[in-house]
Amino acid sequence: MTNNHPHYLQLAHAVLDWNRKHLNRDSSLTEAVIGQCFAEQFIVEPNGRRYEATRANYLEFLNGMKADMAGIDYEIDHTLVDDAAVVFSMRARIAYCDGRTERFRAMLLMRFDNAGKVTLWHEVYVPLAMPA
């Protein structure tokens, strides 16, 4: 049996890099750009909700989400990899164009298909209180 763990870890880091590049108000997203990382159809599960996504409806969602974002960044604390998935325990920071910043603790599970595209984006995130 072939160990694809390094391949899937590389794909997962590429998805986070894709987010860093594209999740801001100045980026132009298209279905083709989303297709760089995401399958034609995939599941998004944020904080206990479940959505069946396509590149078209994910494009609409992301355009709304990033409308006032300056950017997003991640600091990974722990990583687990199996034969088709990667889990990151991490801290996420979202900066907004009005100067606000939100910080989160997050667990992100990404599952990939044979083409290396995301088929599951399962994330649990908890806002961190900002220091006074």
Domain 5-127 grouped into CATH 3.10.450.50: yes
C-alpha torsion angle, residues 45, 46, 49, 50 (rounded to 10): -20
Instruction: Provide the 8-state DSSP code for 22.
Output: H
The whole-model pTM stands at: 0.92
**Lowest pLDDT segment from 99-103, 112-116, 127-131:** 127-131
Residue 64: in which H helix or E strand, if any?
helix 55-65
Q: What is the mean pLDDT of the chain?
A: 95
Domain ranges of the chain: 5-127
Sole residue written with tokens 């160990």 = 3
Tell me the per-residue pLDDT of 46-83, one tens digit each, with 9 for 90 and over: 999 999 999 999 999 999 999 999 999 999 999 999 98
Ramachandran assignment for 17, one of left (phi > 0), alpha (psi -120 to 50 degrees), beta (any other): alpha
d(CA 37, CA 14): 8
pLDDT of residue 3: 77
Q: Is the Cβ–Cβ distance between 65 and 92 less than 8 Å?
A: no
